[in-house]
Amino acid sequence: MTDAILTLKNVAYRYPDGTPALDNCSLTVRRGSRTAVLGTNGAGKTTLFLHLNGILRPSAGQVLCGDNPLDYSRAGMRKLRSQVGLVFQNPDSQLFSASVQEDVSFGPMNMGLEEREVRTRVAESLLAVGMAASADRPVHNLSYGQKKRVCIAGVLAMKPEILVLDEPMAGLDAAMQQELMSVLDQLHAAGMTIIIATHDLDFAYGWADDGIVMEAGRLLAQGATTEILLRDDVQMALGGAPLIAEINRRLLLIGIDLRDNGYLPRSKGELLQAITAQTRQESTP
Ligand SMILES: Nc1ncnc2c1ncn2[C@@H]1O[C@H](COP(=O)(O)OP(=O)(O)OP(=O)(O)O)[C@@H](O)[C@H]1O
Ligand SMILES: [Mg+2]
């Protein structure tokens, strides 16, 4: 039995203009997992995320946090938003205050924390995303990537139990992507559940334990990324495969198999180890 922290039961959602976005969608997110949500443009990832913190309410079906169906009352939503922190895909949908500092303070202040605690959290979060020097800058003057960082800081400052990020890497420079990764790894190690929507199959394969693959508003696959991302139907739906799977497919043609106990390497270190192991086999008479 898995320890589900979030569950969707047969959720359907249509936008007010009639566009169907989720269709009988059932899935679970394991407590403490690193979960990647995958799917082509329009598959329903953002719509799914907007259901996880109650911004959207299912047209049919149910969303549960732990064992409890979401409480859509004002008090219920306030509690949920402190548990489930959502970083929007588009930073302009999230930022609304005049200055960076004000924006990042909004969440923790709304949680009723003391001013000192708010200040500490804001400073820590801005430091974590490399924006400490910009605390007093007006939000509207920031670059896209800087706005994205401020959004992430705003959610980190609330110290949620579950962190939901909608394509967080898009628009960040390479150094910041690395930095964000290490922040997420620290948060995960401290027990946070992290859910990320991404189009980067290599990142999903290497970083996430669990994968959720959406196709046209439905759940196509759910399970270990090391298994589902190697499935033909999943690769067909996503229009690609992790690079490591492509490499192994070619190497198999010349009799080299990088798999260890059926699993492909997930990190650079594991890949180098697998190559070394193969080279040793080759050179052993
Ligand atoms: N505000 C809206 N009003 C009407 N339809 C919408 C709205 N937002 C999204 N949709 C539609 O809902 C479906 C799912 O969209 P969603 O944004 O959830 O996809 P996504 O998987 O996040 O895509 P992307 O990879 O492009 O971010 C699409 O058909 C989309 O056109
Ligand atoms: Mg989206």
Helix (H) or strand (E) holding 192: none
H helix or E strand, kind and range, residue 226: helix 225-228
247 shares a domain with 178: no
| In contact, 70 and 80? CB cutoff 8 Å | yes
Q: Which domain holds residue 48?
A: 4-240
In this prediction, residue 1 carries a pLDDT of 45
45 and 78 assigned to the same domain: yes
Same domain for 73 and 124, yes or no, is yes
Residue burial 28-40, b: 16+ Cβ < 10 Å; e: rest: bbeeebbbbbbbb
230, 253: one domain: no
pLDDT grade, residue 285 (50/70/90)?
Answer: low
Task: Report how far ligand 2's centroid is from the alpha carbon of 107 (Å).
Answer: 23
CATH number reported for the structural domain that contains residue 235 in this entry: 3.40.50.300
Residue the block writes with tokens 């490499």:
247
The candidate with the shortest Cα–Cα distance to 180, out of 162, 193, 167, is 167
pTM: 0.93
100-120 pLDDT, tens digit per residue, is 999 999 999 988 999 999 999
Residue to mutate (ligand 1; options 14, 45, 93, 218; most atoms within 8 A of CB): 45
Percent of the chain with pLDDT over 90: 74
Does residue 54 sit in the same domain as residue 189? Answer: yes
CA of residue 262 to ligand 1 center, whole Å = 36
Q: Whose CA is nearest to atom 26 of ligand 1?
A: 41
Sheet holding 218-224, edge to edge: 84-87, 162-166, 193-197, 34-38, 210-215, 218-224
Number of domains within the chain: 2
Instruction: Tell me the pLDDT tens digit for each residue of 218-234.
Output: 999 999 999 999 999 99
